Amino acid sequence: MTVMTVIEAVKTAMDEAMAADDRVFLLGEDVEAGGVFRATEGLHAKYGERVIDSPLAESSIIGLSIGAAHYGLRPIAEIQFADFIHAGFDQLCSEASRWSYRTRGDAYLPMVVRTPWGGGVHGGQHHSQSIEAYYSHMPGIKVVAPSFPADYRSLLHAAIADPNPVLFLEHKRTYRLIRQEIDGAEAETRLGKARVTRRGDDLTIYAYGLMLHESLAAAETLSGEGTECTVVDLLTLNPLDRETILETARATGKVLIVHEDTLTGGLGGEIAAIIAEHAFEYLDAPIRRVAAPDIPAMPFHHAMEDFFMPNREKIAVAARELAAY
């Protein structure tokens, strides 16, 4: 039996993909030495010039990957921290997301941009951000944010095989925190599919990344109190799996959306809107969101960081209120 952490699952998938297809190569800051989270450790020794240290320049990490993917290679770009991807916003939004659209598929970009996101690691303002809302509002880009090691591995393979640009978000707090026995573990192999991780009749919680685990813990607590929650692991944030979202919302009539990102303009708004438009008749309660307060980003000091971060307790409180509604 093989138990893997998230970081091991990510590294394993890259190793497997590079071994199977020599068009796959890595580009990013410090990747030759293994990367600051050691996701690429050993790969330079094994694959040599296919693991390339980039200069400290995010626009080029994305822009070069676009060129290489257009040429027919399969770049896996690493942005050291999601917080630093913004200099590449232009290349992702104005170029990568439109490559296929503006040529009607005559040209396309099989590229992956991996990056560690999320808080709870004393990373402060610029090593903790949730960036998914910005980058999920780009038709043409796929955004993936798994929660369990087995999915990290299978979905990273799917992202590498996909002919479109995929932003692959890895929650850094879970890198070594979350382990899973992966042999025979349920693993989603398709981009665009959410998973119902837990079934309950009283309400549905939608989450991803670290918050999926916090939501499962909250659901466990509520179960002990007699409230049964459905918990949906969104897995792919763009395009969203509307079917699973609506099926579960209709089934439970009460919904709670959880994310670590700040509330206003976060992905929760879109999920709430989808439900409020297409499952309205089934709703028995207001649509609730648990998210971070509207401040620029995670403060550094642990007391303020804890205040900022949603967690199992805050989720449980909201779920109880919703159940009682």
Partner 1 sequence: MTATRTGRRTRSEKTIDEYLLSEQQLEDMYYYMLLARRLNERMLALNRQGRAPFVIAGAGQEAAQVGAAMALRKGTDYLAPYYRDLGMNLVFGMTAREAMLNLLAKRDDSNSYGRQMPSHWANSERKIVTQSSVVTTQFLHAAGIGLAAKLKKDPIVVMTCCGEGSTSRGDFHEALNFAAIHKLPVIFFVENNGYAISERTEKAMPVPNVADRKRGYNIQGMVCDGMDGIAVYQTVRPAVDQARNGGGPYLIEAKCYRLWPHSSDDDDSRYRPKKELEEWSKRDPIKLFRERVESDGIFPKEDLDEIETRVDDEIRDAAQWALMQPDPEPEDALGFVYKEL
Ligand X SMILES: Cc1ncc(C[n+]2csc(CCOP(=O)(O)OP(=O)(O)O)c2C)c(N)n1
Which of 68, 76, 113, 323 touches partner 1 by CB under 8 A? Answer: 68
- Asked if 21 is part of the footprint of partner 1 (rule: CB under 8 A), the reply reads no
Catalytic amino acids? 127
Q: Quickly list DSSP for 182-217.
A: -TT-----STT--EEEE--SSEEEEE-THHHHHHHH
Of the candidate residues 147, 248, 262, 311, the single one contacting a copy of itself (CB under 8 A): 262
Whose CA is closest to 147, among 112, 122, 125, 118?
118
Number of residues written out for the chain? 325
Of 6, 18, 82, 142, the one binding partner 1 (CB under 8 A) is 142
Shortest reach from residue 196's CB to partner 1, in Å: 25
Instruction: Give the footprint of a copy of itself on residues 21-80 (CB under 8 A).
Output: 59
If the CB atoms of residues 156 and 287 are measured against a copy of itself, the closer one turns out to be 287
Nearer CB in complex with ligand X: 29/151: 29
Per CB under 8 A, 314 contacts partner 1: no
- Nearer Cβ to partner 1 (2/125): 125
3-class DSSP state of 252? helix
Strands (E), the chain: 3-5, 24-28, 51-53, 74-78, 112-117, 142-144, 166-171, 179-181, 195-198, 203-207, 229-233, 236-238, 255-262, 288-292
Q: Which of residues 127-166 bind a copy of itself (CB under 8 A)?
A: 133-134, 136-140
- Does residue number 294 form part of the binding site for partner 1 (CB under 8 A)? yes
| Distance in Å, CB of 14 to a copy of itself, minimum | 27
Compute the distance between CA of residue 109 and CA of residue 19 in angstroms, rounded to an integer.
21
